[in-house]
Amino acid sequence: MNSGLPQHDPRNDDPVHAELDRRAREVADQVIAWRRHLHRHPELSNREEGTARLVAEHLRGLGLDEVRTGIAGHGVVGVLRGTAGGDGGRVVALRADTDALPVKDLCGADFASETVDAEYPGGPFPVSHACGHDCHTAMLMGAATVLAGVRDRLPGTVVFVFQPAEEGPPVTETGGALAMVEEGAFADPVPTMAFGMHVTPYPKGYVGYRVGNQYGASVLVRITVDGKQVHGSTPWQGVDPMPAVGAVLTGIGQLYRQVSAFDPVTVTIGHVEDVGRFNIIGQTVTLWGTVRCAVESDMAEVRDRLRRLAEHSAAAYGATAEVEYLQPVPPVHNSGPWVAAGLPTLRRVAGQERVTETGATLGYDDVSELIARFGGLYVMLGVQDAVLDEAGVPVPAKGGRGLVTNHNPHFYADDDTLVTGVRLHAHVAYDHLRGALVPEG
């Protein structure tokens, strides 16, 4: 695993690293079993009851100093206080998200989900771990086993964060990382570093990182266009909201040209909800969508312009539009000093040649709420049958299962790769606590 490493980097001279790897190998089969169980029993955002129960039982079984449950819904936090001397007062928060998606499971594995959530707002929905959070949860459970096993060599504290509702709770509910912060989950102990990762369509065992924004800023938008309900045969006696909606949808295509083309922005309306009938001009039409900006400074601009577009387009048709922004998530930002501090650890775990720079994406991850507050790192973990082409872009490996994006019904993650995630958590935590993974300046 150490091939290609600089020979005398003192940050890699520590017998505990080999011990972490040995313990990770020992727990690997258990991690796969947890992952398959979670995959078969996925739960939507803010409904992660069974997942939280499994996690809490495991953490309690490890004899952690604290296991707190019911945080911001079904959040679980475990605290492991190391007993080695030389405590630098450091606290590392390792975070996994636990929720699934309203997506049919077509991953093809024999542990595919057949779950349907009939009660969820807007449902019934088929439910699956199409974003791979089953892997995240299982890997962090494994890392808890590994780190609890070396408690007497930990010069600091590890906080295991199992976070619900990363994909966004129903709009009438709160939840996610910010809700955990607001409920005081990180008030005592206060982390000095947060670490998160995401499984992704990248070669198996590869770790991708980016200095700057790894993921963009995001906000959910709800636009309510209001007209005047009337019989479908006499539109002049009412106000039809539908043409106004058409104008808003068309006008969104022009927003891109109103902000710099050098930093990508997307505005997607993924759901249009009307209350009409073929012979009724309805009172309102509601548009649901998401705004993503690669750089956060564009967000206020895009929000203002979308609001202006909706209000004035509606006015042109005699209707009104109300624009609301919900569930804002800041970008996931990796600072240069944190990346520099973390690279020796990432390279030791994955191997020098498997740690590569990746591009930014307009996905989001609300782990940004933790990294922005406490500092830290976020990386991508490759879990698919891929190779990198000459330009460093992942392409399907011959004879493999192909490249499938997260949120697609066919998304899959390779089980054997999960041990790399366990090792990443364990090595990052240990290196931070012993003062080797700390940004300079």
Q: Which residues are annotated as a binding site for Mn(2+)?
A: 131, 133, 167, 198, 407
CB of 170 to Zn ion, least distance (A): 16
Quote the CA–CA distance of 33 and 366 in Å, as a whole number. Answer: 27
Residue tagged 């030389």 (tokens): 86
- Phi/psi at 162 (5° precision): -105, 105
What secondary structure letter does DSSP report for 240?
Answer: -
Quote the CA–CA distance of 73 and 165 in Å, as a whole number. Answer: 9
Write out the two tokens for 150: 């070396």
Determine the residue with CB nearest Zn ion: 131
Which one, 131 or 140, has the nearer CB to Zn ion? Answer: 131
CB of 192 to Zn ion, least distance (A): 25
CB of 62 to Zn ion, least distance (A): 25
Q: Which CA distances in Å does 24 have to 58, 99, 119, 203, 208?
A: 16, 24, 38, 21, 21
Which one, 206 or 430, has the nearer CB to Zn ion? Answer: 206
Report DSSP letters for 8-70, one per residue.
T-GGG--HHHHHHHHHHHHHHHHHHHHHHHHHHS--BTT--HHHHHHHHHHHHHTT-SEEEEE
CB of 368 to Zn ion, least distance (A): 13
CB of 213 to Zn ion, least distance (A): 16
Which one, 131 or 314, has the nearer CB to Zn ion? Answer: 131
Residue of 99, 14, 194, 94 whose CA lies nearest to 421? 94
Which one, 80 or 131, has the nearer CB to Zn ion? Answer: 131
Residue of 134, 136, 133, 128 whose CA lies nearest to 112? 128
H/E element holding 371? helix 368-374
CB of 407 to Zn ion, least distance (A): 6
CB of 199 to Zn ion, least distance (A): 8
Which one, 199 or 436, has the nearer CB to Zn ion? Answer: 199
Binding-site positions:
131, 133, 167, 198, 407
Quote the CA–CA distance of 183 and 172 in Å, as a whole number. Answer: 18
Which one, 208 or 351, has the nearer CB to Zn ion? Answer: 208
Write out the two tokens for 145: 């086993």
Cis peptide bond prior to 189, omega within 30° of 0:
yes
Which one, 170 or 189, has the nearer CB to Zn ion? Answer: 170
What secondary structure letter does DSSP report for 235?
Answer: G
Q: Is 22 exposed, middle or buried (0-12, 13-18, 19+ CB in 10 A)?
A: exposed
Which one, 34 or 215, has the nearer CB to Zn ion? Answer: 215
CB of 131 to Zn ion, least distance (A): 3
Which one, 128 or 192, has the nearer CB to Zn ion? Answer: 128
- SS3 for 386? strand
CB atoms inside a 10 Å sphere around CB 297: 11
Q: Is 118 exposed, middle or buried (0-12, 13-18, 19+ CB in 10 A)?
A: exposed
CB of 409 to Zn ion, least distance (A): 13
Using CB under 5 A as the criterion, which residues of the chain lie in contact with Zn ion when the complex forms? 131
